[in-house]
């Protein structure tokens, strides 16, 4: 760490109120304050309980398939002509994305807290599938809220959830996407607080969710940091990940927060371009406000109404972002840049062709960002990119966009 300037410990956040600097907190209806306190208490107790930790580690190893490898994408790197691009293969996890790291943890918590019913919101359906999966395994009743628009564009995941025994409830209010699914899940929770555990799918929502979801995903960065040391003898020059709500990005960033020489770059969905108004780049183009229980950067109009977002990838189509990212942006510790639909599509095809890896559209944003970063660095540079999920769920969207009928 840099000795000449006062060094901030980025691992010290959040504070006891769940704040990351000015961001975070618990901006929820009164009825939810008690279940949030109950959850905070249970999580704080169990996270340091050796038995709980051992149970979680076992599940991560034998059920999720951890550790996931890092992989040097040599042909891609050569074609790009810059630094070496290293992929953290979260796409190889059970259910095909990083989302299961979090749902395994929260479902175990639900069981320890004696809650027989879990609910979740989902955008791309990955978090819904990951929740339905762990619910099936633990014998918990599972209800997933999903925007009607997303149900249309992620049909395969809807069917997967149903096969896993979950009830998928279409949400038709507002913009019929992820934010509305989150509203509806909160309404369910308010109504069923006694027997229900709400498994939030990203580092957003009220305290303790941003902290807890980050902690459950932080294994991604812990593994990757050790794997980089082991295989390349040093840390990467830059780490990049896509940012929807920000869980896979927080997951891989967290272990590197105090490595001040490692640059951290989040790739937000710039959709049709940041100036088009059709995007989901809350950090790059939004402003601080309050949504879904926390203060963070969000996309809203001058009257404070949340605006509709656009991204080719349903998982990034969210007008807010986790409060810790807002904090890291203001602190200058991480940067957040926009990747357009077209850039993500191009990166998608490139990774398919050069490496035989079909990335999720969300992750394709990270790959596009990694390609840009690799071009800025010398050939011996190292760009670590979180490949948060696989793209099987997106083949219909991609085919439709390219005018191909399946």
Partner 1 sequence: MSTAIDNRLDRRFTALKAAGRTGLVPFITAGDPAPELTVPVMHALVAAGADVIELGMPFSDPMADGPVIQHASERALRHGVSVAQVLEWVRAFRRDDAETPVVLMGYLNPVEIMGVERFAASAADAGVDGVLLVDCPIEEDATAAPLREAGLRRILLTAPTTAEARLQRACELAEGFLYYVSFAGITGAARLSVDAIAERVADIRKRSRAPVAVGFGVRDADSARAIAAFADAVVIGSALVESLAGSEDAGQVEQRVRTFLEPIRTALDR
Of 148 and 345, which has the nearer Cβ to partner 1?
Answer: 148
Report the distance separating Cα 131 and Cα 41, nearest Å.
22
Locate 27 and state its tokens: 């901006």
352 is an interface residue for partner 1 by CB under 8 A: no
Report the distance separating Cα 379 and Cα 268, nearest Å.
26
**3 state DSSP class of 390:** strand
Of 108 and 213, which has the nearer Cβ to ligand PLP?
Answer: 213
> Which residue from 183, 217, 248, 388 is in contact with partner 1, where contact means CB under 8 A?
183
Residue 323 is given by DSSP the state H
Among residues 222, 249, 273, the alpha carbon closest in space to that of 328 is found at: 249
Of 82 and 212, which has the nearer Cβ to ligand PLP?
Answer: 212
Spatial CB neighbours of 88, under 8 Å, sequence gap ≥ 6: 68, 70, 220, 223, 224, 252, 384, 385, 386, 387
363 binds, among partner 1, ligand PLP, none (CB under 5 to 8 A by kind): ligand PLP
Decide if 32 contacts 189 (C-beta within 8 A). Answer: yes
> Which residue from 40, 149, 363, 369 is in contact with ligand PLP, where contact means CB under 6 A?
363
Locate 154 and state its tokens: 């992620």
Of 30 and 405, which has the nearer Cβ to partner 1?
Answer: 30
317 binds, among partner 1, ligand PLP, none (CB under 5 to 8 A by kind): none
Of 25 and 123, which has the nearer Cβ to partner 1?
Answer: 25
Of 68 and 82, which has the nearer Cβ to ligand PLP?
Answer: 68
Catalytically annotated residues: 99, 121, 388
> Which residue from 14, 24, 82, 244 is in contact with ligand PLP, where contact means CB under 6 A?
244
**C-beta neighbour count of 113 within 10 angstroms:** 15
Question: Of all helices (H) and strands (E), which one includes residue 170?
Answer: strand 167-171
DSSP structure string for 3-69: SSSPPP-GGG-S-TTSEETTEEEEE--GGGHHHHHHHHHHHHHHTT-HHHHHHHHHHIIIII-PSPP
> Whose structure tokens read 């609910």?
119
334 binds, among partner 1, ligand PLP, none (CB under 5 to 8 A by kind): none
Query: Interaction with partner 1 in 258-317: which residues (CB under 8 A)?
Result: 287-293, 298, 300, 302-306
Residues 2-21: x/- map of binding to partner 1 (CB under 8 A)?
---------------x----
> Which residue from 15, 31, 137, 404 is in contact with partner 1, where contact means CB under 8 A?
31
179 is an interface residue for partner 1 by CB under 8 A: yes
240 is an interface residue for ligand PLP by CB under 6 A: no
339 is an interface residue for partner 1 by CB under 8 A: no
76 is an interface residue for partner 1 by CB under 8 A: no
Spatial CB neighbours of 186, under 8 Å, sequence gap ≥ 6: 28, 32, 198, 292, 293
Roughly what angle, to the nearest 10 degrees, separates helices 209-217 and 323-330? 80
> Which residue from 25, 123, 206, 293 is in contact with ligand PLP, where contact means CB under 6 A?
123
205 is an interface residue for ligand PLP by CB under 6 A: no
Residues 248-287: x/- map of binding to ligand PLP (CB under 6 A)?
xx--------------------------------------
Report the distance separating Cα 265 and Cα 243, nearest Å.
10
Of 77 and 126, which has the nearer Cβ to ligand PLP?
Answer: 126
> Which residue from 19, 88, 115, 127 is in contact with ligand PLP, where contact means CB under 6 A?
127
Contacting residues toward partner 1, per CB under 8 A? 17, 25-35, 37, 173-174, 179-180, 182-183, 186-187, 190-191, 193-194, 287-293, 298, 300, 302-306
């Amino acid at each position: 760490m840099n000795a000449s300037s006062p060094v901030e410990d980025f691992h010290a956040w959040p504070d006891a109120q769940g704040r990351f600097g000015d961001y975070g907190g618990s901006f929820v209806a009164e009825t939810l304050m008690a279940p949030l306190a109950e959850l905070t208490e249970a999580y704080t107790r169990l996270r340091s309980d050796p038995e709980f930790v051992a149970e979680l580690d076992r599940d991560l190893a034998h059920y999720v398939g951890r550790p996931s490898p890092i992989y040097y994408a040599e042909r891609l790197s050569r074609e790009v002509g810059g630094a070496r691009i290293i992929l953290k293969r979260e796409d190889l996890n059970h259910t095909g994305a990083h989302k299961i790291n979090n749902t395994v943890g929260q479902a175990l918590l639900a069981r320890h807290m004696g809650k027989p019913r879990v609910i979740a919101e989902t955008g791309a359906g990955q978090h819904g599938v990951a929740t339905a999966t762990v619910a099936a395994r633990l014998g918990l009743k599972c209800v997933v809220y999903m925007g009607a628009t997303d149900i249309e564009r992620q049909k395969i995941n809807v069917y997967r959830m149903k096969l896993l025994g979950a009830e998928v409830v279409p949400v038709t209010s507002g913009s019929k996407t992820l934010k509305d699914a989150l509203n509806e899940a909160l309404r369910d929770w308010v109504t069923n607080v006694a027997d229900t555990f709400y498994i939030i799918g990203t580092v957003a929502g009220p305290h303790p969710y941003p902290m807890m979801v980050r902690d459950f995903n932080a294994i991604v960065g812990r593994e990757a940091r050790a794997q980089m040391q082991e295989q390349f003898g040093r840390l990467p020059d830059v780490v990049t990940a896509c940012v929807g709500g920000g869980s896979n990005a927080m997951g891989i960033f967290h272990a590197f927060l105090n490595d001040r020489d490692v640059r951290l770059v989040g790739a937000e969905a710039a959709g049709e371009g940041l100036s088009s108004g059709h995007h989901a780049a809350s950090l790059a183009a939004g402003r601080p406000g309050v949504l879904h229980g926390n203060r963070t950067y969000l996309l809203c109009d001058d009257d404070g109404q949340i605006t509709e977002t656009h991204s080719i990838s349903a998982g990034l189509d969210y007008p807010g972002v986790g409060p810790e990212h807002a904090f890291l942006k203001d602190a200058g510790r991480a940067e957040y840049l926009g990747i357009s639909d077209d850039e993500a599509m191009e990166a998608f095809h490139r990774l398919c062709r050069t490496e035989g890896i079909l990335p999720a559209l969300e992750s394709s944003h990270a790959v596009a960002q990694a390609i840009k970063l690799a071009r800025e660095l010398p050939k011996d540079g190292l760009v670590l990119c979180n490949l948060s999920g696989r793209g099987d769920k997106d083949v219909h969207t991609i085919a439709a966009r390219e005018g191909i009928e399946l």
